[in-house]
Structure 1
Amino acid sequence: MNPKDVLLTFPELLLWFPLISGLIAFVLKKGDHAKKWALTSSFITVGIVAASLFFTDQKYFNFNNVSYFWMPSLGSSFALMYDGMGRMLCLLTAVSFPLVFLSTYTNDYKKPHSFYGLMLLTQSGLMGVFCAMDALVFYFFWELALIPVYFLSSIWGGEKRIQATFKFFVYTFAGSLLLLIGIIYVYLHTPEGTFSLRAFMEAKLPPGKEKVAFWLFFIAFAIKMPVFPFHTWQPDAYEQSPTGVTMILSGIMVKMGVFALIRWLVPVFPYATQMFSNIVVVLAVTGMIYASCIAWMQDDLKRLVAYSSIAHIGLMCAAVFARAESGVEGVMIQMFNHGINIIGLWIVVNAVEKYWGTRKISELGGLANTSPTLTIFLVIIALANIALPLTNAFVGEFLMFNGLFAYGKWTTAIALISIILAAVYTLNMIQKVFYGPVRAHYPLAGVTRLDKGAVVALSIIVIIIFVLGVYPKPLIELTMSTVGAFMNKVHGL
């Protein structure tokens, strides 16, 4: 087949199909038609991404890149590129949504057509973020991914959803405003007067102005990851959002910030990155220790998982700014693995809350007696989350610490404390919730069977954990070209 005969490239398919699917879901108001359609369309998206993985060779270049005029008067083109990092994160996005829909299939939502429509619009926005090569296109999809989440959380969230969503809105709106100012600021200094990534990397910014632009971009991305001290919106948002939305927030949306560091921040501001890397690494490592300590003290399962996620993202941020090749390789594969593992944890939390009516660790105990299947899944996923050898997170975490060690031995020693803390709060949670004394007040204490959808989703996650734990080579090879280009830019300055 000739690439020129293809009407739509893979990036376009991954944008348009979820977008159109979401619009269709809005009109499916009868019964559970919207739910069934969302699940079906999410599997079709997985098929599109799976097909795209076979077209990695340069001879299929036209399948994976597209650029046409969007706003020519401003020098902005609708430019999309489907490189290794984009493929990997689009794969994560595609796989995550059916896992979410399967594991929450028996959950009841008011106006399900609106809920699933907004979820699919979020998927379209995420795909756009990971493929965009024009700053305005990137910003457009950045907002498209966020806006549906405001409505999902404020309409279908918990009792304190309004306060949590307002806090989430204030943080993300401030970040988006700073990002837009930064984009315009750099655009005014581009030699071609365009918003393309290449033009941004060639922008003639004096050192003082580059420092300002760096912080405008970095704060916007730090809020989204989030990195200490821009993290305070996250635990509340995770706790009050519907579990399915929380899975997307923690599994995929936080990766938008890490992705943006690698795609947009460091390559565009290499001198400022070198100058401020010490500050960012200190913030990231501080956040790792702080979040791990707070997670240790939590009595709510959702908040415990939320703070553990902050610690993991802090390590990714530190590894990016350490600017060592092994560390960046680790970040690439850990973005995927962390997304899979954290979704698995949320599925377990959703099952615990659904069947036993509480998320409080102090009110739970002996769940292994009533649900041994859930216990097995939880133990495997939790141990993967703390990077036990032979699980998927081990390789990425080892590479990130190796890159951080090349940056600074004492920094690495302090960061390694987070591993000990993670083991402490994870094993403590497993012991108290699943192997502690049996509580007699469970609303459904006799439940022993999980929903079929949750079992399927958790089984897929466990398979991924062991396959990538033993054989991570596919992810490493997929992102190798992106790592090489990143390191060339860092060392070329």
Structure 2
Amino acid sequence: MFTNNIPWLTALILVPLIAAFAIPFIPDKEGKTLRSYSLGVSLLNFGLTILAISRDYDFSSSNLQLSESYNWIPTMGLGWSLGIDGLSMPLIVLSGLITTVALLASWNVKKKPQLFYFLMLVLYSAQIGVFAAQDVLLFFFMWELELVPVYLLISIWGGEKRLYAATKFILYTALASIGILVSALLLAFYGDNITFNMAELSLKEIPTSLQVLIYIGFLIAYAVKLPIFPLHTWLPDAHSQASTPVSMILAGVLLKMGGYGLIRFNMEMLPNAHIIFAPLLLILGVVNVVYGAFAAFGQTNLKRRLACSSLSHMGFVLIGISSFTEVGINGAVFQMVSHGLIAASLFFLCGTTYERTHTLMMDEMGGLALKMPKTFALFTTSAMASLALPGMSGFVAELTIFLGVAESDAYTASFKAIAIFLTAVGLVLTPIYLLSMLRVVFYGQSNEKLELSQFNLDAKPREIFISACLIAPIIIMGLYPKIATETFDAKTVEVNSKVRSALPMVIQEANSYHFQSDKVKELLPAVLIN
């Protein structure tokens, strides 16, 4: 059943997938035709995304839109059920933009180009599938499908330790994703109505004790993906070994799947359990921010420093999700989109620098500003966005999250004060490690042992264009945030209302336990014990 005349979402998933399976029939050993073909497919799909949204999407509504549904594999109960709302729509647009520029960044792939571009297009299809799926089994299928291309892209086109990094990535993410399947089955089979449809699952009245169990399963999977300390250790290894296009997609889109899953499943479907777990998420978010910032200081590898920076910035998503305020949740979604653009830009420019210097060790660089002024300017602009310079999207996202926590009535004043103070410490550390990175790489004396290509050393027009495609929306969103927030305002209001409406039941259940320990009370939202 289609609620629209055109099955837009099915097309967005199938176009890159079908195009990928056509690649083996394109005779091109050097990859010149393949790269143009793959980029053309990605541009076509991104254009279809913009056309579908501009034509049939209502930004003021929180309802599911562009819905499509029919029985795919009836014997398994698997339905091809798709739809988007204010939570998934901006992430689908983000996926299209970053995948397109990542393909443009992979212009010089010479090793197994057919397999490379095949995997990139399959990965694009899986990304759209994750954000558009409205059947929990279909969501799990797309989630697993996305893991395979990333594993192969790292293990074949990565650095010297690519097999170690790829294996670590697949072990962490694949094992953790079992939590999605187990929790999904518990949700689906609870009660008289057996269903995998997300809309129907969200209507089920599930007791809090079972919600807690299901919540834990989802949380483990999304904690690895986001990632959340201490399940983050795969991230620096994966980034340091992945090629530039893969790092762009990994940081720009794939990490956001963890935040998306927490809001879509843990908050929307399990509001009672979320009320109980929110303080823990807030604590873990603060730990992410501070630990990630300190960890970045200890990294001399440029990619690993940026990876730890991503860990720190994704902590803000957790803080916003656990704020119990519309402003905080709004900030979390804004941060996912903003960080996706900023991280993709930084990792691309890191790759551009590596192509010239043939090293990722910062202490082996130095004095590159004079030799690569355009790259230096672009790198500095992206770093300023990452450290939340006013006028850029990172500032709006992090300020919104701070305000969301500050105005929350769910925590005691002392608890909020400590959380805000520690988060501010991480925020202060961010410009220090980013500016020190710029100083080491671009200032000082040049390393005489560093072999630099004197031919077209600085960023080329194609590379400047890629950076501009990512930096432009960062600045636009920073100066006029409404252009982004109006896409998900209605949805964040709905999600927060659903969580808040579950408070009376959870309060009643909490009071029935007669909490006696002050330490336990401090860890619970204040509204549960007041």
Query: Residue 104 of structure 1: CA displacement?
Result: 3.0
C-alpha distance in 2 between matches for 1:62 and 1:288: 33
1:69 to 68, 71, 76: 71
For 1:85-124, list aligned pairs within 5 A: 85-106=87-108, 108-124=109-125
What amino acid is aligned across from residue 26 of structure 2 in structure 1? L
1:435 to 426, 443, 447: 443
Q: What's the secondary structure of 2:349's corresponding residue?
A: helix
Q: Which residue of 2 aligns with 1:485?
A: 494
For 1:287-306, list aligned pairs within 5 A: 287-306=288-307
What amino acid is aligned across from residue 432 of structure 1 in structure 2? V
Q: Which residue of 2 aligns with 1:411?
A: 419
- The alpha-carbon distance between structure 1 residues 383 and 58, as it changes in their structure 2 partners (threshold 3 A), is closer
Please tell me whether the aligned partners of residues 4 and 66 of structure 2 are also in contact (alpha carbons under 8 angstroms).
no
C-alpha distance in 2 between matches for 1:402 and 1:480: 16
Please tell me whether the aligned partners of residues 102 and 456 of structure 1 are also in contact (alpha carbons under 8 angstroms).
no
Query: Residue 226 of structure 1: CA displacement?
Result: 0.5
C-alpha distance in 2 between matches for 1:103 and 1:365: 24
Q: Which residue of 2 aligns with 1:320?
A: 321
C-alpha distance in 2 between matches for 1:138 and 1:5: 21
C-alpha distance in 2 between matches for 1:190 and 1:42: 43
When structure 1 is superposed on structure 2, of 48-57 and 196-205 the one drifting more is 196-205
What amino acid is aligned across from residue 487 of structure 1 in structure 2? N
Q: What's the secondary structure of 1:85's corresponding residue?
A: coil
C-alpha distance in 2 between matches for 1:471 and 1:26: 44
- The alpha-carbon distance between structure 1 residues 62 and 387, as it changes in their structure 2 partners (threshold 3 A), is closer
For 1:4-403, list aligned pairs within 5 A: 6=5, 8-30=6-28, 31=30, 32-54=32-54, 55-57=56-58, 64-106=66-108, 108-403=109-404
C-alpha distance in 2 between matches for 1:445 and 1:322: 50
State the identity %.
30
The normalised TM-score by structure 2 is 0.89
Please tell me whether the aligned partners of residues 144 and 174 of structure 2 are also in contact (alpha carbons under 8 angstroms).
no
Query: Residue 42 of structure 1: CA displacement?
Result: 1.2
Please tell me whether the aligned partners of residues 81 and 131 of structure 1 are also in contact (alpha carbons under 8 angstroms).
yes
Query: Residue 464 of structure 1: CA displacement?
Result: 1.7
Please tell me whether the aligned partners of residues 26 and 34 of structure 1 are also in contact (alpha carbons under 8 angstroms).
no
What amino acid is aligned across from residue 473 of structure 1 in structure 2? K
When structure 1 is superposed on structure 2, of 109-118 and 197-206 the one drifting more is 197-206
C-alpha distance in 2 between matches for 1:46 and 1:20: 15
Q: What's the secondary structure of 1:230's corresponding residue?
A: coil
C-alpha distance in 1 between matches for 2:19 and 2:495: 35
Q: Which residue of 1 aligns with 2:434?
A: 426
C-alpha distance in 2 between matches for 1:154 and 1:65: 37
C-alpha distance in 1 between matches for 2:44 and 2:58: 23
Q: Which residue of 2 aligns with 1:474?
A: 483
Please tell me whether the aligned partners of residues 121 and 148 of structure 1 are also in contact (alpha carbons under 8 angstroms).
yes
Residue deviations 1:259-313 (CA, integer Å, cap 9, x gap): 1111111111111111121112112211211111010111000000000000111
- The alpha-carbon distance between structure 1 residues 317 and 109, as it changes in their structure 2 partners (threshold 3 A), is farther
Following superposition, which runs of at least 4 residues in structure 1 exceed 4 angstroms of deviation?
Answer: 58-63
- The alpha-carbon distance between structure 1 residues 357 and 4, as it changes in their structure 2 partners (threshold 3 A), is closer
When structure 1 is superposed on structure 2, of 322-331 and 371-380 the one drifting more is 322-331
When structure 1 is superposed on structure 2, of 28-37 and 338-347 the one drifting more is 28-37
What amino acid is aligned across from residue 384 of structure 2 in structure 1? L
- The alpha-carbon distance between structure 1 residues 65 and 417, as it changes in their structure 2 partners (threshold 3 A), is same
The normalised TM-score by structure 1 is 0.95
Please tell me whether the aligned partners of residues 341 and 385 of structure 1 are also in contact (alpha carbons under 8 angstroms).
yes
C-alpha distance in 2 between matches for 1:307 and 1:469: 23
C-alpha distance in 2 between matches for 1:78 and 1:309: 33
C-alpha distance in 2 between matches for 1:353 and 1:35: 21
What amino acid is aligned across from residue 116 of structure 2 in structure 1? F
Q: Which runs of 5+ in 1 are unaligned?
A: none
Please tell me whether the aligned partners of residues 394 and 469 of structure 1 are also in contact (alpha carbons under 8 angstroms).
yes
1:454 to 463, 480, 485: 463
**Matched positions, count:** 489
Q: What's the secondary structure of 2:115's corresponding residue?
A: helix
What amino acid is aligned across from residue 392 of structure 1 in structure 2? S
Q: CA RMSD in A?
A: 1.9
When structure 1 is superposed on structure 2, of 205-214 and 115-124 the one drifting more is 205-214
Residue deviations 1:316-368 (CA, integer Å, cap 9, x gap): 01210122111111112221111111111011110111101111111111101
Query: Residue 250 of structure 1: CA displacement?
Result: 0.8
Please tell me whether the aligned partners of residues 251 and 343 of structure 1 are also in contact (alpha carbons under 8 angstroms).
yes
Residue deviations 1:3-22 (CA, integer Å, cap 9, x gap): 9783x422112111111122
